[in-house]
Amino acid sequence: MSDTMLASASRILWRMIKAEGADPDAIFTEAGLSPALRNEATARYPVEKARKAWQLAADYIQDPCFGIHAGVHWLPGDLHALGYAFLSSKTLRIGLGRIVRYNEVIDQVINFIIDEDDEHLILSYENTRKDLPEPLALESARWSTVLTMCRTAKPEGISPAKVELTNGPMKCKKEYEAFFGCPITYSQKRSALHFKFVDVEQTLTAVNTEVAAINEKALGEYIGRMHEEDLQHRVARVITGQLVCGHLSDVKVAETLFMSSRTLQRKLSAEGTTFKQILESIRKKLAMEYLKDERLSFSEISYLLGFSEQSSFTRAFKRWTGASPTQVRQVIRHIPL
């Protein structure tokens, strides 16, 4: 499968072009994109053609800083279920983590990364297609959208502590500084937003873990469909959907996928993995997410992960991480052990 991006995400660009008085349908068509697909929830555009649309728009608009206005035109539904999952997150840290995990739904060649230093959570990204350079406007558009998502989720306001941009200073430097509200360094090796821990760890007013979970499930299912040719992704999707049923086994998963357990194990082995490895990977990943929600007890987390007893979950978690669930939850909350 060639690299693609979510067609509905291009609605942001479509609105930006229209706001500038240009014909967005004409620009999309010239780039080889069907304008009508932007309103189909699961449709995808080839990344190469989507980048061409951005370049054509930049060439037409002739404003080196028009990308910074992307956030004005962002709507939650543009990003499939990711926008709603983000806005219902308990904290911005959790919301930004969802961007890292699920951005392949939006754009298969952009990988977001979270790092930390002594004072900041740092969100950066990398373009995995070195043969596909990005139009200059996309860097500012990407951060404009992310920061607008943060400000929508945290209406009392938030600005990064610092911004790194790979592009050099442009004529609209003052416009950038006004939007980001913090110092900006240009011509850097990476593109990144630095947030103070206190800003990303406060509980958000619109937190709704149930809504977030529903949208995360939708994202997981969508990714599963994107990777239908990859058996381990199909297995992971089935496991995620059946975890809370308990007594999950390779036999049950194989039956769901219309094959024998022996065939399932053989095919997974050919892909370099096993049913047990996939199951434990999913449980570990979900456990770390559930531990961030302090309203979930350890017994509830055990149930959500498909363990019959809390003690079984505790033993498995120690095997995965070398620490107990209690210790990890305390670290997440920044409470000294």
Q: What's the pTM?
A: 0.69
Q: Which helix (H) or strand (E) holds 122?
A: strand 120-127
Helix axes 173-180, 136-153, angle to 10 degrees: 20
Length in residues, the chain: 337
pLDDT tens digit at each of 337 positions of the chain:
358 899 999 999 999 999 999 999 999 999 988 898 899 888 888 899 999 999 999 999 999 899 999 999 999 999 999 999 999 999 999 999 999 999 999 999 999 999 999 999 999 999 988 888 888 899 999 999 999 999 999 999 999 999 999 998 878 899 999 999 999 999 999 999 999 999 999 999 999 999 999 999 999 988 878 776 568 877 887 887 777 766 788 998 888 777 888 989 988 888 788 999 999 999 998 898 889 888 889 998 998 898 989 999 999 999 999 999 999 998 887 654 4
For residues 160 and 182, the answer to whether their CB atoms sit within 8 Å is yes
Given a contact cutoff of 8 angstroms between Cβ atoms, the answer to whether 146 and 107 are in contact is no
Q: Which CATH number fits domain 227-332: 1.10.10.60, 3.30.360.10, 1.25.40.80, 3.10.180.10?
A: 1.10.10.60
Q: Which CATH class is domain 4-201?
A: alpha beta
Of 202, 180, 206, whose CA–CA distance to 193 is shortest?
180
For the chain, the domains span 4-201, 227-332
Token pair listed for 227: 């990777």
Calpha distance 197→121 (Å, rounded): 6
Question: DSSP for 72-109?
Answer: GG--GGGGTTHHHHHHT-SSHHHHHHHHHHHHHHHBTT
